[in-house]
């Protein structure tokens, strides 16, 4: 891990104002905004405050509400470099916190709020739009909700850390350039317990080529037959075509160049969005990431991870893992993510009709699942170090491994990290090799949950009497049952009840022993598969070294576990930003081993960016080297300060409320 202190002297340009006086301009003031989106898409010029229906426009002008005494908590050098900025220059700019929080408008910036709609938890919610965010502007090539429009320090830290952490994992994402907090306060009921408290207003600077999302095209939706809601620009079909032209010409220029027929161009565009979405969700699944709120308004048209809310990384592997406390049905659970993304693509296809013929869209959607499986299996083979050949049995091996991890409560991140310790079979010293294999198996067994943890994990959340009532209702009155529950929820509760009873029975020790034996058997299956991997290889040692390098570059040592983020939040709320900002270049190298979610070892938030050594991430005030390449883009960069008070596009459905 390379680390270095970075000290870049602050400098500014000197220009002449209209009176002929010398005026210094900081790097932020020299940013060249062109704001193409506001020129090419309809803009509602009204600055009337408060939520209102915005018809026939994609953006609405807003005036960001300034914060009281804004100040930096952290900045990301890599993210700011996308704008042609240097982190230390920004930190040394006395107006930096005001500019990047939207409290003061940069020269050339045109603050606006984006109007979009969305299907939320399967139901069309009508007009939404930027409620706690606003568009600051769009740069030349550098390299609405009904709420108060404010984010607090707690949610802002989670967004900042995860945006940069997911980038470090090599997953496409919007970036977080800076995090600014202030003395401005809002009241939030964090746990919806009736005990609200004041929290600091904070702002994250979001950076991406565009923030256009699936829901951006749903503003043209006809009245929904279930909710009765309608898109605010229904009937303005010309704007739909205008939006598609803008998105394709700007962000998919190769598609624009390769297709003269408009329909064929639009089909190619939808296919590329589908492909990027399939690849993105496959990457999520392979690092154990659960988004939590995969509504259509949280799906990027570029295939980026966007809108970090109640996200979570799995600790122990559980396909039914739910990170959103509001998701009672498990609609956005870990294992549901691939199917939900396809469902969202289908809603996008509906929104693009008639620009995208339904028959052609359906044909593209049929390609989604095979593509997703290809991406997923490709990633999983790398996680297992299977580099030389692809076998049909690989899918079964992966399934068996994940099932065994589920049964043992094995830690998802740590287990895959441990697998690189299993060596390829050789014809060398058999006794020494057996010793290495035993150590690898022991290390894997350490990642399994204890009996008490398995009992707790499989304890039904539903009262037995309620469960019995629902089962009886499912038989006697299916229509009423479907109104208050669903078969999947009941089945999950029954499965947990059965497992919990087993772990609490007199046979618990035998059961646990059998489950652990299954994990050891998985190691043996991996060895058998590796034996076929080395067939015909003249230098097995070179293959093993390559395999370990690929596995360690694919399986992170750290992810942003909830307790790590919570430690950073609690410290920051007490005025200590050291868990968010890197204190010294030696901190990361001193932290070794695994971050075990259940045991809550002392792992700082910044450590989560050390999984892959490559490029640089600057926090206050030092450099920690991390992560692979940046987000895909067109050479454009949008600036969005999340929490800047742009609530003017709020729809009648309300917003996120206290969770912000």
Which of 297, 318, 327, 411 does the annotation list as catalytic? 297
Residue 505 has a pLDDT of 66
Residue 562 has a pLDDT of 92
* d(C-alpha 406, C-alpha 81), whole Å: 41
Residue 201 has a pLDDT of 93
- DSSP class of residue 5? -
* Residue 399 pLDDT exceeds 60: yes
In contact, 560 and 165? CB cutoff 8 Å:
yes
Structure tokens at 20: 């002929």
Instruction: Name the H helices within 202-261.
Output: 237-251, 253-258
pLDDT bracket for residue 4 (50, 70, 90): very low
Which pairing describes strands 59-61 and 43-44: parallel, antiparallel, or unpaired?
parallel
Instruction: Name the H helices within 506-592.
Output: 508-533, 540-554, 562-573, 587-590
Percent of the chain with pLDDT over 70: 79
Residue 508 has a pLDDT of 60
Lowest mean pLDDT segment, chosen from 94-98, 134-138, 231-235: 134-138
Which residues are CB-neighbours of 615 under 8 A, at least 6 positions away? Answer: 78, 625, 626, 627, 628, 629
Structure tokens at 103: 């409290």
Rounded to the nearest 10 degrees, how much is the dihedral formed by the CA atoms of 43, 135, 207, 26?
Answer: 110
Residue 333 has a pLDDT of 95
In contact, 646 and 64? CB cutoff 8 Å:
yes
Arithmetic mean of pLDDT, 229-240:
94
Determine how many CB atoms are found less than 10 A away from the CB of residue 147. Answer: 20
CA distances from 134 to 59, 81, 301, 660 (A): 10, 21, 18, 15
pLDDT bracket for residue 522 (50, 70, 90): confident
- DSSP class of residue 452? H
Percent of the chain with pLDDT over 90: 51
- DSSP class of residue 447? T
Which residues are CB-neighbours of 500 under 8 A, at least 6 positions away? Answer: 455, 458, 459, 460
Structure tokens at 486: 């669903």
Residue 45 has a pLDDT of 79
Nearest one of 69, 109, 78 to 176, comparing CA atoms: 78
Residue 274 in 3-state DSSP? helix
> pLDDT tens digits for 72-90?
999 999 999 999 999 999 9
Residue 636 has a pLDDT of 47
297 an active-site residue? yes
* Residue 394 pLDDT exceeds 80: yes
Nearest one of 22, 4, 21 to 13, comparing CA atoms: 22
> pLDDT tens digits for 14-57?
344 444 444 578 999 999 999 999 999 999 978 777 777 888 88
Q: Which of 390-399, 466-475, 606-615 has the highest mean pLDDT?
A: 390-399
Arithmetic mean of pLDDT, 233-261:
97
Question: Tokens 């997911």 map to which residue?
Answer: 166
């Amino acid at each position: 891990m390379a680390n270095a202190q970075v000290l870049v002297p602050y400098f500014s340009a000197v220009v002449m104002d209209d009176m002929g006086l010398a005026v210094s301009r900081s790097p932020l003031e020299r940013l060249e905004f062109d704001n193409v989106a506001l020129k090419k898409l309809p803009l509602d010029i009204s600055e009337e405050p408060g939520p209102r229906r915005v018809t026939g426009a994609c953006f609405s002008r807003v005036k960001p509400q300034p914060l009281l005494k804004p100040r930096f908590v952290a900045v990301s050098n890599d993210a700011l470099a996308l704008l042609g900025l240097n982190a230390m220059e920004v930190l040394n700019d006395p107006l930096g916190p005001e500019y990047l929080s939207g409290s003061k408008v940069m020269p050339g910036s045109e603050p606006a709020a984006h109007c979009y709609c969305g299907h939320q938890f399967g139901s069309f919610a009508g007009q939404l739009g930027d409620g706690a965010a606003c568009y600051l502007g769009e740069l030349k090539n550098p390299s609405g909700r009904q709420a108060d429009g404010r984010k607090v320090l707690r949610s802002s830290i989670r967004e900042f850390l995860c945006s940069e952490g997911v980038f470090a994992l090599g997953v496409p994402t919007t970036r977080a350039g800076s995090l600014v907090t202030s003395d401005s306060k809002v009241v939030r009921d964090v746990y919806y317990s009736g005990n609200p408290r004041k929290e600091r207003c904070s702002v994250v600077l979001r950076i991406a080529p565009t923030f256009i999302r699936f829901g951006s095209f749903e503003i043209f939706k006809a009245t929904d037959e279930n909710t009765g809601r309608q898109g605010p620009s229904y009937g303005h079909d010309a704007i739909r075509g205008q939006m598609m032209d803008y998105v394709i010409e700007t962000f998919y220029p190769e598609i624009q160049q390769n297709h003269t027929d408009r329909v064929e161009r639009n089909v190619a565009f939808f296919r590329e969005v589908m492909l990027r979405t399939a690849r993105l969700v496959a990457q999520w699944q392979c690092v154990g990431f659960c988004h939590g709120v995969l509504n259509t308004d949280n799906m990027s048209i570029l295939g980026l991870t966007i809108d970090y809310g109640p996200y979570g990384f799995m600790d122990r592997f559980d396909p039914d893992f739910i990170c959103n406390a509001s998701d009672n049905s498990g609609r956005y659970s870990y294992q549901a993510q691939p199917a939900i993304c396809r469902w969202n693509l289908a809603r996008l296809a509906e929104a693009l009709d008639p620009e995208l013929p339904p028959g052609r869209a359906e044909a593209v959607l049929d390609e989604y699942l095979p593509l997703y499986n290809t991406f997923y299996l490709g990633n999983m083979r790398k996680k297992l170090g299977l580099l030389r050949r692809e076998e049909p049995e690989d899918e079964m091996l992966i399934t068996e491994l994940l099932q065994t991890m589920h049964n043992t409560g094995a830690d998802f991140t740590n287990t895959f990290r441990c697998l690189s310790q299993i060596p390829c079979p050789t014809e060398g010293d058999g006794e020494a090799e057996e010793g290495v294999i035993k150590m690898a198996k022991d290390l894997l067994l350490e990642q399994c949950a204890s009996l008490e943890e398995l009992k707790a994990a499989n304890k039904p959340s539903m009262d037995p009497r309620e469960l019995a009532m629902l089962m009886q209702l499912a038989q006697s009155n299916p229509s009423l049952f479907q109104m208050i529950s669903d078969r999947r929820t009941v089945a999950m509760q029954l499965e947990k009840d059965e497992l919990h009873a087993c772990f609490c029975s007199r046979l618990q020790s035998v059961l646990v022993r059998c489950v652990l034996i299954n994990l050891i058997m998985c190691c043996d299956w991996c060895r058998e598969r590796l034996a076929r991997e080395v067939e015909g290889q003249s230098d097995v040692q070179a293959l093993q070294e390559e395999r370990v390098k690929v596995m360690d570059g694919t399986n992170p040592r750290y992810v942003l576990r909830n307790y790590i983020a919570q430690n950073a939040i609690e410290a920051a709320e007490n005025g200590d930003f050291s868990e968010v900002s890197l204190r010294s270049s030696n901190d990361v190298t001193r932290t070794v081993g695994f971050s075990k979610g259940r045991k809550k070892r002392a792992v700082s938030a910044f450590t989560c960016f050390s999984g892959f050594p490559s490029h640089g991430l600057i926090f206050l005030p030092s450099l920690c080297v991390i992560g692979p390449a940046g987000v895909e883009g067109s050479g454009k960069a949008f600036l969005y300060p999340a929490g800047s008070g742009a609530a003017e596009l709020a729809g009648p459905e309300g917003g996120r409320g206290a969770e912000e």
